[in-house]
A and B are shown apart, each in its own frame.
Chain A
Amino acid sequence: MSRMENMEAAQNTSFLLQSIFSHVTDAILIVDKQGYVMELNPAAEKMTGWSKNELIGIVPFCEICVGMATVTNEFSCVNCFASGNCPFPSFEMKIRRRDGKEIHVAASSTRLPEDQSGALVIILRDMSEQYYLEQQRFRMLMTNYVIHAQEEERKRVSRELHDGIGQALYSILVGLKVVNQLQLDRNVGDHLLDVQQMTARALEEVKSMAVELRPSALDDLGLLPAIRSYMKRYEQTFGIETILEVTGEKRRYSPSIETALYRICQEAMTNAAKYADTDKILVEFNSTKTKLKLTILDYGCGFDPSSINIRGTGLGLYGMRERASLLRGEVNISSSPGDGTKIEVIIPINEKGEPIHVDSGTCC
């Protein structure tokens, strides 16, 4: 190859490299040994919000870098990659844009050889969307974990109350009845009767606490019997008339669905009792092969859904949405002042009555 051709080839390569530098979607920054930015590509200008002229030789890279992600910190300067102590070639870090906004990026850094300027080449890739998704996924996992743990604990305590203390009280009651059949002094007999009544009351109390924590009907008999008996208790608690209308096939569903729908129904009805000022509530349950629909409808004062935080924290509604979304379902709330409130929950299911599109990693 002639010298001319060599030069041409070198020129071509250099042209190609220049073209890659200006068109690649990753941001590339070159930082000199003093820590100032000496060159950056258009993608880097776009990512950081700084223009070439404002940056080169003026702004130290530390102004842009917030820090690297480590095990303990979301961003840290320990083992800074620029110091040469970084044990890995690529890492996650956070940068601060010119407008002050901080974004998550994946980064890699390369130190050029000493005889070729010794500059640091940093390549950044915007990961904020992935970071957001990961956070969402993690949050969902935690929510699910918390809900699951709470439900299990309630189940355990409920059983303990019912089978342990409840059973013990029942035995005491039977024992007292036996004793009271003996020939006793009238005073003693009356007193024993009092104790018997107190025991019976305590037994009732324990039983109702167990049911309120988590009705065993939910596990033993299924969603609809559990809702039905909740509605009966609700009617006696608040004096609000309740109607349950069931359409479609009646069957059992997976425990995660039954629990979620029971809790959502409970929350919606409690909200209605507390805020709706209604004397009637209608609960509709519709089951098809592909989805379940639960509607809770009150005839009360309603509210403006756009200003929901006026009464209450909105946490109850958040909880309902969370429970439904874990099962890839949705909660729709429609209400207007003076016109009652309708809460509609839809959960997609498969033919076995299980939730669909649910990753086993994010659901119990």
Chain B
Amino acid sequence: MGSLKGDIEVSLAELRRLTSTDFAALAWSNQNEYIIRWKYASGNRNERYKRIVLRPEKGIAGKVMRSGRPMILDSFSPKSGDDPREYPILLAEGLKSIIGMPVSINQRVMGVLLVGCRYIRSFEDEVIELVASVAEQLGSMIQQRKDEGDVFFPLFPIIRK
């Protein structure tokens, strides 16, 4: 087993290949600073995701974390009148279709696994299930190595129902 970062990045690349998506990333919450960041990514076209700092409940990751449920968009485009602060990662990577899946540790939603395409796509059930199972695997993998870094403390006391 390699480093956690390496392992996660390998998983993301593999997930991207299996789901034939353009972009895969994992957002993680940081308890100390009340923020969420996109920590790891695969298929990114620029470095913008690294600079994005989401406040709790903001953005796609924040929404998935708050609800604890998957978010699936088939054809996204910015509309006039909506607030672009609700979807910075989609703008940064030019994504049109996404699956956002909550990642939990000890039944607390701690992160969000996102895969997306830069074209309109309606995701098949198998693809959604695959993303869900990878999200679960990532959760248990991170849980196993709980002592290795600062990313594992819970930010939100949200219990998945």
Contacts and interface: CB of A to CB of B under 8 A. Distances in A.
* A and B found bound together: yes
B22 to A, nearest CB: 15
A163 interface: no
B20 to A, nearest CB: 23
Interface residues of A, number: 25
14 contacts: A197-B31, A200-B34, A236-B52, A237-B52, A237-B53, A238-B85, A238-B91, A238-B92, A270-B84, A274-B91, A279-B46, A279-B48, A312-B80, A313-B81
B161 interface: no
A277 B84 contact: no
A63 interface: no
Nearest to A301: B94
A51 to B, nearest CB: 50
B46 A273 contact: no
A241 interface: yes
Interface string A233-246: 00111111100000
Contacts of A239: 47-52, 88, 92
A15 interface: no
Interface stretch (A94-102, A201-209, A218-226, A351-359): A201-209
Given A205-B55, A273-B84, 12 more contacts: A204-B55, A238-B85, A238-B91, A238-B92, A239-B47, A273-B88, A274-B78, A274-B84, A274-B91, A279-B47, A311-B78, A315-B80
Contact of B53 (A194, A236, A270, A277): A236
A238 B34 contact: no
4 shortest interchain CB distances as A-B pairs: A239-B48, A312-B80, A239-B51, A236-B53
Nearest to B38: A239
Given A235-B51, A239-B52, A241-B51, A194 B85 contact: no
Interface of A: 194, 197-198, 200-201, 204-205, 208, 235-241, 270, 273-275, 277, 279, 311-313, 315
A57 B88 CA distance: 72
Interface SS of chain A: helix
Contacts of A204: 34, 55
A314 B152 CA distance: 45
Interface in B32-62: 34, 46-53, 55-56
A214 B92 CA distance: 26
A277 B55 contact: no
B81 A236 contact: no
B157 interface: yes
Contacts of B50: 239
Contacts of B92: 238-239, 279
A238 to B, nearest CB: 5
A310 to B, nearest CB: 11
Nearest to B53: A236
Contacts of A197: 31
Given A197-B31, A274-B91, A279-B47, A238 B56 contact: no
A208 B47 contact: no
Contact of A237 (B46, B47, B85): B85
Nearest to A203: B34
A235 to B, nearest CB: 6
